[in-house]
A = this chain, B = another copy of it.
Amino acid sequence: MKPHTAQADITRSAILAHVSTRHGCSRAQLARELRVSPALITQYTRDLIADGLLVPLAHEASRGGRPAQLLGSATTTGDAIGCKVAADHITMVQVRVDGMITRADTLAFEATAGAAVQHLGAALHAFIEQTPTGRLLGVGVGVPGDVDEQTVGTVDSTQLGWRGLPLGDSLRRKLGLPVIVENNVTALTIAEALYGPGLGHDNLLVVTIGTGVGAGIMSNGNLLRGRSGGAGEIGHLPIQENGPLCQCGGHGCLEAVLGERALTQQARETGLIRSDASIDAVRDLADQGDPAAQQIFIDAGHTFGRAMAGAVNLLDPEVLILLGEGMLGWRHWIPGFEPAFRSALIPRNRAIPVVAETLQDERWAQGAASLVLSTPFDTQEHSGEQGRLIRQRFLKP
């Protein structure tokens, strides 16, 4: 039998995952993209082929030199389950190694209920039961809040009303699968780097607008976590001198100026919508060409553009990726955003690409699944014990 250590599992599963996502890939390419020597790839691929996990495929046409032989994954390496947890609903998806969503479901959910964790566990259990076939590698859960080290997976979330909830441990016992719990924006950032517009870039800034405003920063291929994993709180960037009061107690935070609540409030105060109507009503009006409604989004876009320019100037990412429920009305933001954003950028950054994504719930859930699917590339072992278990499942035939 082959050697079987944690380090070897990382390398082997990284090769397997890389081949699977690319649907075939040469040895030389693996060596380059995984940043190891060709010799090591030769060794590991030989083992993986012998084990029946990898198959040699056709030779590519030569581009001046020995033609590369493509390697393909022999079996389906297995899928991951991803789950987005919101205050009033959960969305679950099944995701293939290449990032494709093969199944999805959304259920009502009450985070503040006493038995919320039991309900969540039951919902996931039922979803997993219906898995048509093949192995499951693990479950990723994205929550709006802070998560401690993965050993326990304890969640603090004001949005969900959870304090010190040992979600990871509970689900692990209930499901009998590896479970990784993470902040939802963090999870999304990993997904963007792995499958989204961030693919191939080492420096990303991912910003989400919705109830709150959050950010994920990928620098030099590593996720920026900060002192206690709390990095990315872009929602409390002070943006107006005497702006509206924010939940955090401050005034003029970005989130308090252009969060969903703030925009709805503005529309209500000007009598644009009824006092029980939501942001959707404002967007509908804007869609119909109402100038006052459009102006709300233009103003928000302007403020947002300046704030994003500041963040881009500070962090120098290769791409700026925007998403979240707030992006549903993005086309109304653009006229305010673009000029404010571009003009506030320093010249060197002025051409930075901005990608606005509109996909919603399923994207977040896919992000959660990518917590599982990215473990082969987790050289810093941030996912700890759970990551190790997932990598072993990658390699079990």
Contact = CB atoms under 8 A, between A and B. Distances in A.
Contact of A346 (B226, B236, B313, B318): B236
A300 to B, nearest CB: 14
Contacts of A318: 227
Contacts of A237: 310, 313-314
Contacts of A230: 316, 348-349
Given A219-B224, A224-B219, A313 B236 contact: yes
Contact of A316 (B228, B343, B346): B228
A220 B224 contact: yes
A317 interface: yes
Interface string A295-330: 000000000001101110111111000000000000
Nearest to A224: B219
A289 interface: no
Contact of A248 (B229, B233, B248, B346): B346
Contacts of A313: 233-234, 236-237
A232 B219 CA distance: 12
A106 interface: no
A344 B238 contact: yes
A310 B238 contact: yes
A94 interface: no
Q: How many copies does the complex hold?
A: 2
Contacts of A219: 219, 222, 224-226, 231
A241 B237 CA distance: 14
Nearest to A318: B227
A215 B346 CA distance: 15
A304 to B, nearest CB: 11
Interface string A218-257: 0110101111111111101111110000001110010000
A223 to B, nearest CB: 9
Contact of A227 (B310, B311, B317): B317
A176 interface: no
Nearest to A201: B227
A310 B240 contact: no
Nearest to A248: B346
B347 A226 contact: no
A13 interface: no
A252 to B, nearest CB: 8
What are the 6 A-B residue pairs with the smallest beta carbon separation, nearest first? A226-B316, A237-B310, A231-B316, A238-B306, A233-B313, A230-B316
